[in-house]
């Protein structure tokens, strides 16, 4: 079969031109893909930071705001503590405590509840400890017959269990005890809470038999709830990012537990926490001081300023982070700067989150 004389293939020059055009198109596609991937990583990183910062501040705000809460008491009632393994500090004076940690010492001196914590806080960060009733309260289903009678509840919104530290209070009296038995004797969903003396409690006698008003009104002054005692701090999560640097997180230590263990990780990527304490003066003005300030009277603190520095767990930026962040009115600068507080730099994306928390249970 013969081909027409005018039928020809591509010349070398045409093939070279086509190859160059193809390479240009391919290069453009790679550039667009790389740009889109980098943009997606930045967007994803910022979304994770925003979510982590919001969750961390919500957790801290909800707990700190309740500091000192023990029902309808005015915050000056000192509870009668039956529990043998209760936290060393109790309401009302111990509702709030804070310290700065430099890696070897605490300012002010560390309280016994967290002195032996296994996962030490990150040097240069703050620690805050709060105590209060949980706020998920209920009332008795029937009045106590005597000071040693079990506590009867028709509902259990706090999911109270054996070994929980529990507070019962009205407007004038409060008792804190360790539950030694939580059962449903009638098999109808109602529960009975016992507080026997022994390893858990020094006594099985409350300050008084707590009672409810006729009709079991929900607005009755008497309240039963879990007693919470939590320390919040920043520590090494034990994991590393893709470049081998440690990942820090926000932790909580439950100091109301019968056996205090290590802190529980709450939010990943929280690198720093700085706190200022708003102390009300005689003039009713509020001044904000760090925990280690020698003239700070923690009993007069009515508000808290908290600043968190949250970072991505992967390197997502093109350049090292040399920015300075403000946390609770305190500068946290890059590792190459002169600020006393510094972040670790690297090609991580960071953001500062700040809030002011008003304490509800301080006069």
Higher-pLDDT residue of 135 and 17 is: 135
The residue with greater pLDDT, 243 or 176, is: 176
Instruction: Give me the sheet containing 191-194, strands edge to edge.
Output: 151-153, 191-194, 181-183
Above 80 in pLDDT, residue 348?
Answer: yes
Region 169-175: mean pLDDT is 91
Higher pLDDT, 199 or 27: 199
Q: pLDDT at residue 31 above 90?
A: no
Which tokens is 11 given? 């010349």
Residue 185 has pLDDT above 70, yes or no: yes
**What percentage of the chain has pLDDT greater than the value 70?**
90
For 133-166, the pLDDT digits (tens) are 998 999 898 899 999 999 999 889 899 999 999 9
**Range 78-105 average pLDDT:** 88
Which burial class, exposed, middle or buried, applies to 23 when counting CB atoms under 10 A from its CB (0-12, 13-18, 19+)? exposed
- pLDDT at 37 (0 to 100): 54
Question: What is the sign, positive or negative, of the torsion defined by CA atoms of 68, 123, 110, 251?
Answer: positive
**In angstroms, rounded to a whole number, what is the distance separating the alpha carbons of residues 88 and 231?**
13
| Per-residue model confidence (pLDDT) at position 7 | 57
**Average pLDDT of the residues of the chain:** 88
Q: What confidence score (pLDDT) does residue 195 get?
A: 96
Ranking 157-171, 179-193, 213-227, 258-272 by mean pLDDT, the lowest is 213-227
Mean pLDDT for the stretch of residues 291-301: 93
Q: What is the pLDDT of residue 85?
A: 83
Q: Coil, helix or strand for 233?
A: strand
Higher pLDDT, 8 or 295: 295
| Lowest-confidence region among 33-47, 235-249, 280-294 | 33-47
DSSP string, 328-352: TTEEEE-TTS--SEE---SS--EEE
Query: Which of 21-30, 74-83, 265-274 has the least mean pLDDT?
Result: 21-30
Largest CA distance in the chain: 118
Least confident of 37-41, 65-69, 109-113, 338-342: 37-41
- Domain spans in the chain, listed from the N-terminal domain onward: 47-72+94-131+228-358
The secondary structure of 16-59 as a DSSP string is HHHHHHHHHHHHHHHHHHHHHHHHHHHHHHHHHHHHHHHHHHHH
Query: Within its chain, how far is the Cα of 241 from the centroid?
Result: 22
CA 141 to centroid of chain Cα atoms: 33
CA atoms within 13 A on the CB side of 48: 19
Chain-centroid distance, C-alpha 19: 59
> How distant, in Å, are the alpha carbons of 86, 160, 186, 188, 332 from that of 180?
14, 11, 18, 20, 47
Q: What is the dihedral of CA 111, 325, 239, 56, to 10 degrees?
A: 60
- In the predicted structure, residue 5 carries a pLDDT above the cut 70: no
pLDDT at 318 (0 to 100): 84
Rounded Cα distance between 158 and 133, Å, is 11
Q: At 260, is the pLDDT very low, low, confident or very high (cuts 50, 70, 90)?
A: confident
In the prediction, which pLDDT does 153 show?
93
Q: Are 122 and 344 in contact (CB under 8 A)?
A: no
Whole-structure pTM value: 0.86
Confidence tier at 33 by pLDDT (50, 70, 90): low
pLDDT of 215 above 60: no
Task: Work out the pLDDT band at 177, boundaries 50, 70, 90.
Answer: very high
- Of the pLDDT bands very low, low, confident and very high (cuts 50, 70, 90), residue 184 is confident
Residue 3 has pLDDT above 90, yes or no: no
């Amino acid at each position: 079969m013969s081909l027409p004389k005018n039928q020809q293939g591509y010349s070398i020059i045409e093939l070279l031109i086509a190859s160059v055009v193809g390479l240009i198109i391919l290069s453009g596609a790679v550039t667009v893909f790389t740009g889109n991937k980098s943009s997606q990583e930045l967007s994803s990183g910022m979304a994770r930071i925003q979510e982590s910062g919001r969750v961390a501040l919500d957790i801290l705000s909800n707990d700190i705001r309740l500091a000192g809460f023990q029902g309808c008491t005015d915050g000056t009632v000192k509870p009668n503590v039956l529990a043998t393994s209760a936290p060393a500090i109790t309401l009302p004076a111990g509702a709030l405590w804070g310290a700065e940690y430099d890696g070897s010492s605490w300012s002010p001196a560390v309280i016994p509840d967290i002195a032996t914590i296994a996962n030490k806080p990150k040097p240069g960060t703050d620690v805050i400890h709060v105590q209060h009733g949980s706020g998920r309260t209920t009332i008795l289903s029937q009045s106590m017959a005597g000071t040693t009678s079990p506590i009867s509840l028709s509902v259990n919104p706090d999911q109270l269990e054996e070994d929980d530290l529990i507070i019962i209070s009205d407007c004038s009296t409060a008792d804190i005890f360790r539950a030694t038995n939580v059962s449903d004797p009638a098999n109808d969903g109602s529960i009975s809470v016992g507080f026997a003396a022994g390893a858990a409690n020094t006594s099985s006698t409350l300050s008084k038999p707590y009672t409810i008003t006729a009709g079991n009104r929900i607005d009755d002054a008497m309240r039963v709830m879990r007693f919470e005692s939590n320390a919040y701090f920043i520590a090494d999560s034990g994991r590393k990012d893709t470049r081998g640097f440690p990942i820090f997180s926000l932790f909580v230590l439950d100091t109301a537990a019968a056996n205090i263990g290590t802190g529980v990780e709450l939010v990943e990527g929280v690198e720093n926490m700085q706190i200022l304490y708003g102390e009300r003066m005689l003039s009713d003005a509020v001044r904000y001081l760090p925990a280690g300030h020698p003239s700070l009277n923690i009993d007069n603190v009515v508000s808290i300023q908290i600043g968190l520095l949250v970072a991505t767990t992967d390197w997502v930026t093109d350049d090292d982070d040399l920015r300075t962040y403000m946390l609770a009115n305190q500068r946290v600068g890059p590792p190459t700067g002169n600020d006393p507080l510094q972040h670790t730099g690297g090609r991580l994306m960071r953001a500062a989150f700040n809030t002011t928390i008003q304490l509800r249970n301080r006069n």
